[in-house]
């Protein structure tokens, strides 16, 4: 299982600043991996507000069930995140493991278990032994510190080929505010599946209902606008926490959605989330190309997104891109199968800035050579104009390569 | 583009009998391929009844549009089918090509163009020159003969690795009746897509409305229960024709759905269609394993089919099967993402006859060795019991191999 590092792996990582009110620690609990940290403890100051979005799977993991239940409180004091075992499809044992893990974490952080959030990623169907946490929680609690974001991003990786993190700085009423995020994406855990986990933190004083509204809105253009292989994990979790520590400097709390500062914050948060989401796709299993699919002229935005995802999920489109083939016939196919309103004779398609089809036919001025140059790049954009309405959507994906099949099919060899 | 022949290619082909009232001829029109027949003309006796089902694509090909329009007449005298060019996404030119092709065919068969049905498979977006047919239609009409079904199945192939045909014999009121079918499946036509075409013929005297009702019902358990890669062609077409020639021997015509003979015929037709549908999956691009996915215990049959297709279309499930990995965690994932009612803690999963998961957990008696033996076979069955209702569905697919990526991505190399 030695798969090559994504060509999009960054040569340098962002310098992640502290977020007032947040301390982190990682440790090696030996859940599955050897010789690397696999558990992350996060301590959040009293009063930290939390929002979350989760997998739509009908077979969600035990930690997802736990988080959904605890979210109604809107408060968080601790997070325990592990890689190596997803604690999914583990029945009653999974539920007990979650209960025990939250209790153990609450003990070392001196908070209520109801304010502990959990996330697990890795093997499905293997019972998760909470005793593994018991052995390291004391030392984790002692080692909590305000930096160490890169170690945190590393500890939650499965077969991601690089750690994923991003930071943003903004000012609200002239007061500095920080936004940090770490995510892990679609790597393969033999013998199981990919999982998306994302954790976002700010010191801005924003109440849980507003965080929830922002997260629910912005996830559509970021984490819900990416696809590697159309498969949905049992464990997908994105949590957004606001410690409110910036209020100490004098920043007035934000507790109304109509507050004009909400939009300022939302713009930066949306940018951070898109950045992190794109990092996941760029490290998609076997990815060699990063693909932006933009659909315009659809009946409405919802219809545009269905068509964009139909294109981005099509194995035939994705293998064509792997083969550097400007195969617009397959794009037409993917538009057609989406089942959304489309008029064959109005469709236009571009690869990069080369229009390959217009008015339901091959573009008469289409240059195969120019299109080939576009397809040879690492990043490929594909634009479709349906010509029937104002609907817009952009999604991101990667190509489908033999490496994807190798990663997911060859582990026994 | 020299891809290996499917391991499921038959060593012998069925001896296809004549169907009274049907004559066929093939020729090399040089549409795309060299050195092989690429056009098939079928002559059907006067009064032949026809039914059809087509792609759900919103970007259907010009011949699909033509057939849908002509189907209301319920009568057919001629069919012209070509490989090498799908006449899809060809705008007004595509429509003119269809008009001209039907007229030319009607001329040599001395019938109305409204009784000519057309199907094309191959490259998308290239104008189809009807002049290619003009050059061969006279000789085709002269060469029409009642056998030659295998040549017909060959002429409609794209990159299918073997011709697909099947035949059934039955008796209605003691009179012999024949059912023949030929299909072509998912082969790759550089630079475009796979297409499914199917043509079914009987000499039974059955009226068009009954044929249509049977075809619409039976396609759900056959051609609409197979998937290679979840991509839907612009050209999918299945036509069912009844010449009625068996009436000459004395068989009374069937024109009521309540006629008890309808069910006798439907059982045999359904069996033929399932046989042909499975042949397509066994020749799926890069297929090395034939996979049956059976879902039971779902809320209803519709829900069971959605879950079965979610499993059969999952790249993670399909690569696991290619890797001979009894990866039931991915099956749970695919159940979950289907969005249909499921109770995690009631699900049971079998590979072959090995139960690998039960009551939402790994089966405690699960033998990795026994499961491995199942996965090493050419044909793998996967059974899911959701345990919440009476819903049943079975679908068929193939594995996802590097060969699939090579066929669809490497054509430029």
Greatest CA separation found in chain A? 71
Q: Find chain B residues with C-beta within 8 A of A89's C-beta.
A: 329, 332, 344, 347, 357, 360-362
In angstroms, the separation between the Cα of residue B243 and the nearest Cα of chain A is 33
Q: Which of B165, B94, B149, B191 is nearest to B412 (CA)?
A: B191
- Distances in Å between the Cα of A308 and the Cα atoms of A79, A225, A297, A339, B124 are 35, 9, 12, 12, 20
In this model, does residue B212 exceed pLDDT 70? yes
Q: What residues have CB less than 8 Å from A260, skipping those under 6 apart?
A: none
Which residue, chain included where needed, has tokens 């009063």? A47
Q: What residues have CB less than 8 Å from A34, skipping those under 6 apart?
A: none
What ipTM score was computed for the predicted complex, to two decimals?
0.83
The set of catalytic residues of B is: 195
Task: Determine which helix (DSSP H) or strand (DSSP E) holds B260, and give its type and residue range.
Answer: helix B260-282
Q: Are A211 and A49 in contact (CB under 8 A)?
A: yes
Tens of pLDDT, residue by residue over B259-309, are 999 999 999 999 999 999 999 989 988 889 999 999 999 999 999 999 999
Question: Tell me, what's the pLDDT at A176?
Answer: 97
Q: Are B49 and B232 in contact (CB under 8 A)?
A: no
In this model, does residue B2 exceed pLDDT 70? no
The mean of the pLDDT values for chain B is: 92
Which residue among B229, B231, B316 places its CB closest to the CB of A231?
B316
Length of chain A: 413
The HSE-up count of residue A134 (CA atoms within 13 Å, CB side) is 9
Is any Cβ of chain A less than 8 angstroms from the Cβ of B97?
A: no
C-alpha A358/C-alpha A365 separation (Å) is 10
Q: Are A101 and A61 in contact (CB under 8 A)?
A: no
How much is the average pLDDT of B192-202? 79
Task: Determine which helix (DSSP H) or strand (DSSP E) holds B72, and give its type and residue range.
Answer: none
User: Of A195, A227, A237, A383, which residue is the catalytic one?
Assistant: A195
Tens of pLDDT, residue by residue over B117-173, are 999 998 888 899 999 999 899 999 999 999 999 999 999 998 789 999 999 999 999
C-alpha A289/C-alpha A283 separation (Å) is 10
Is any Cβ of chain B less than 8 angstroms from the Cβ of A357?
A: yes
How much is the average pLDDT of B200-207? 97
Q: What residues have CB less than 8 Å from A17, skipping those under 6 apart?
A: A167, A169, A178, A180
Strand order of the sheet with strand A361-362? A226-227, A391-398, A290-298, A379-385, A348-351, A354-358, A361-362
List phi, psi (to 5°) of A85. Answer: -155, 125
Q: Find chain A residues with C-beta within 8 A of B233's C-beta.
A: 333
In this model, does residue B351 exceed pLDDT 70? yes
CB atoms within 10 A of CB B35: 7
How much is the average pLDDT of B225-246? 87
How much is the average pLDDT of B329-350? 91
Burial of residue A258 (number of CB atoms within 10 Å: 0-12, 13-18, 19+): exposed
Instruction: State whether A409 and B362 contact (CB < 8 Å).
Output: no
Which residue, chain included where needed, has tokens 């000012």? A171
Tens of pLDDT, residue by residue over A389-404, are 999 999 999 999 988 8
Q: What residues have CB less than 8 Å from B61, skipping those under 6 apart?
A: B55, B86, B87, B88, B89, B94, B120, B234, B235
Tens of pLDDT, residue by residue over B15-54, are 999 999 999 999 999 999 889 999 999 999 999 999 999 9
Which residue, chain included where needed, has tokens 């026809």? B50
Which residue among B319, B323, B337 places its CB closest to the CB of A232?
B337
- Distances in Å between the Cα of A124 and the Cα atoms of A198, B347, B363 are 19, 14, 13
Q: Inter-axis angle of helices A260-282 and A208-218, to 10 degrees?
A: 50
Q: What residues have CB less than 8 Å from A368, skipping those under 6 apart?
A: A326
Q: Which two tokens stand for residue B292?
A: 């049956």
Tens of pLDDT, residue by residue over B54-112, are 988 888 899 999 999 999 999 999 999 999 999 988 888 999 999 999 999 999 999 99
Which residue among B193, B313, B340 places its CB closest to the CB of A330?
B193
B252 against A89, higher pLDDT: B252
List phi, psi (to 5°) of A272. Answer: -65, -45
In this model, does residue B190 exceed pLDDT 60? no
Is any Cβ of chain A less than 8 angstroms from the Cβ of B363?
A: no
Instruction: State whether A412 and B325 contact (CB < 8 Å).
Output: yes
**B53-70 per-residue burial string, b: 16 or more CB within 10 A, e: under 16:** bbbebbbbbbbbbbbeeb
- pLDDT < 50 regions, chain A: 1, 188-193, 412-413
Task: Determine which helix (DSSP H) or strand (DSSP E) holds A122, and give its type and residue range.
Answer: strand A116-123
Mutate to test the interface with A, among B94, B321, B325, B332 (most CBs of A within 10 A): B332
C-alpha A382/C-alpha A404 separation (Å) is 21
Question: Tell me, what's the pLDDT at A187?
Answer: 55
Radius of gyration of chain B (CA): 22
The mean of the pLDDT values for chain A is: 92
């Amino acid at each position: 299982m030695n798969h090559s590092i994504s060509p999009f792996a960054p040569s340098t990582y962002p310098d992640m600043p502290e977020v007032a009110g947040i301390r982190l620690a990682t440790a090696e609990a030996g859940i599955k991996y050897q010789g690397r940290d696999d558990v992350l403890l996060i301590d959040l100051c009293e009063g930290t507000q939390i929002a979350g979005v989760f997998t739509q799977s009908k077979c969600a993991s035990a930690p997802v069930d736990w988080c959904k239940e605890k979210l109604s409180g809107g408060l968080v004091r601790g997070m325990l995140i592990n890689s190596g075992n997803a604690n999914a499809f583990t029945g009653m044992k999974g539920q007990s493991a979650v209960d025990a893990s939250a209790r153990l974490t609450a003990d070392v952080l001196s908070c209520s278990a109801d304010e502990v959030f959990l996330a697990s990623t890795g093997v499905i169907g293997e019972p998760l032994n909470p005793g593994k946490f018991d052995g390291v929680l004391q030392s984790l609690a002692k080692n909590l510190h305000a930096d160490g974001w890169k170690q945190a991003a590393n500890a939650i990786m499965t077969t991601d080929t690089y750690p994923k993190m991003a930071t943003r700085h903004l000012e609200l009423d002239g007061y500095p505010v920080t936004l940090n995020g770490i995510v892990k994406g679609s790597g393969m855990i033999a013998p199981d599946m990919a999982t998306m986990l994302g954790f976002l933190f700010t010191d801005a004083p924003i109440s849980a209902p507003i965080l929830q509204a922002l997260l629910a809105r912005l996830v559509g253009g970021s984490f819900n606008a990416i696809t590697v292989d159309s498969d949905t994990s049992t464990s997908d979790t994105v949590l957004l926490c606001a410690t409110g520590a910036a209020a100490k400097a004098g920043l007035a709390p934000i507790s109304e959605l109509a507050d004009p500062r909400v939009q300022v914050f939302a713009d930066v948060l949306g940018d951070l989330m898109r950045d992190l989401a794109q990092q996941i796709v760029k490290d998609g299993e076997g990815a060699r190309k990063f693909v932006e699919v933009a659909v315009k002229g659809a009946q409405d935005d919802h219809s545009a997104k269905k068509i964009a995802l139909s294109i981005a999920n099509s194995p035939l489109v994705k293998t064509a891109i792997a083969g550097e083939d400007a195969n617009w016939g397959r794009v037409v196919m993917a538009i057609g199968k989406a089942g959304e309103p489309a008029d064959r004779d109005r469709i236009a398609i571009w690869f990069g800035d080369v229009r390959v089809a217009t008015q339901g036919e091959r573009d008469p001025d289409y240059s195969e050579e120019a299109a080939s140059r576009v397809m040879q790049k690492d990043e490929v954009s594909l634009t479709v104009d349906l010509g029937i309405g104002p609907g817009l959507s952009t999604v991101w994906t990667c190509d489908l390569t033999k490496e994807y099949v190798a990663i997911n099919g060859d582990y026994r060899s």
